[in-house]
Structure formats: structure tokens, C-alpha cells
Amino acid sequence: MSDSLKDVAVFVVSLMDEFHRFSVAGEKEVLVKFAKQATRKMCTDLDTIHFVATYLNPPSKDLHELQLRYDRHQIPIDIVNDAQKLLDDLGKSFEEMRYQAPPQSQPPARHLTFLQRTLGGSSAPKSSSLHQEQQQYERDTRSMPASKFWPLAKSSYPILHEIAQKVHAIQASEADVERSFSIIKNLYTPNRQSLDLKMLEKLMILKEKDRFDTGET
């Protein structure tokens, strides 16, 4: 399973699909029963941010299809509406941050142009609204991984791009954190305790880059 938040919701419902198939086939009934119960709890414990991350991953952006899969297992989660509410909140926050001029740079009200007054102090027109971006994004036929899609789509979906950057930076597990501690332990040995933090950070980056280049997990 990936450490990325965007893969969790699809992964756990795929497990439910598999366990359901086993139970229908009558295979290992007791084991399958307990596995289904554990996986069902995982499904119900998912936070809305998991579904937003799933939506912002082009190959899995159809939340209606995901909702149907959860409904088949009678998991009471309103994926589509809950995800949209959170997206609206995030979009509003990002738009406010983007178009709110710093207090020290705001000119006196009498010096504002009509356009600046209309746009709340911003001298540039606002980008397309979140819902407009969503409509275009959902019609976008590019089905590539989020890591490749969003750098290319930044200018087309500025608000969604900003949300995707933040959401996809969230780790689904503590594996990466634990791995980082292990790397630090190997770098910051008793005979290297004179290393300053900046040098330690650079060594960490080199180690992570080496791990990424070699495909280690």
C-alpha cells in the first residue's frame, strides 16, 4: 500500500471487495468474517480528507463510482457531499489568502480604483472559481498520476492545484517519519555529534534522493 493519502480510500474498499468475494465463495469463513469487520472499521474511520485526496488524483477522481462501491458494502459515508464541503472550505481559504493584500501594502481608500474596490483591494482579477475549475477538471481526460498531472495543470486549475499540493503532502502512515528517524540515527552517530543542523539536513536530503533514485522503499 502506498504511503500517499490519495490511495487509502480506494485501497480499503478494494479489500472489502476481495473479502466479499471470498465470503460468497465460502472460503475460510471465520477468517474472512473478522477481516471484513476490521476492514469495515477502517472504512468508517476514514476522514473526509482521504476522499478529497482521492478526488484530486486523476485516475480515481470519480467519487460517485467510489460512493457506489462503499454503498454496496453498506458503509454509511456520504463521500461526495462531505468531500465537496471540505473542498469548498479549502478553496475559500486559499482564495482568501491569495487575494488578500498585505496590510502594509494597502493604499488609502481614496486612492483605490473602482476595480480594486470591487475586488477587495486586489489589482488583478480573481481566477476561475473552484466550482468552475472542478467542472473542467472532471471533464479532463488525462488519466495520469497526481504527481505528474498537477505540475502540468497548475495554470488551468490554480485553486485545485494549490489544494492538491497541500493534501497530497499529507502522509497516510508514519512509515516515512520512522524511516527518517532511522536515517538520522545512522548519520548522527556519537563520533559525528559536531554536525550542525544545516549539514544534517543536507545529508538527509542526499540520503532520501539516493533512496528515491534507487527505488528503495
What is residue 202's predicted lDDT score, i.e. its pLDDT?
83
Sequence-ordered alpha helix ranges (H) in 143-196:
146-153, 158-168, 175-187
Summarize pLDDT for 10-21 with one digit per residue, the tens.
888 888 888 777
pTM of this prediction? 0.64
Q: State the Cα–Cα distance between residues 94 and 97, nearest whole angstrom.
A: 5
Residue range of the domain that includes 73 = 1-173
Residue 98 sits in the same domain as residue 182: no
Task: Name the residue with higher pLDDT: 151 or 35.
Answer: 151
Output the nine-digit C-alpha cell for 20: 466479499
Residue 137 sits in the same domain as residue 32: yes
- The domain tally of the chain equals 2
Residue 157 sits in the same domain as residue 135: yes
Residue 117 sits in the same domain as residue 148: yes
pLDDT class of 201 with cuts at 50, 70, 90: confident
Residue 88 sits in the same domain as residue 100: yes
In the three-class reduction of DSSP (H, G, I as helix; E, B as strand; rest coil), residue 4 is classed as: strand
Residue 189 sits in the same domain as residue 93: no
Residue 130 sits in the same domain as residue 92: yes
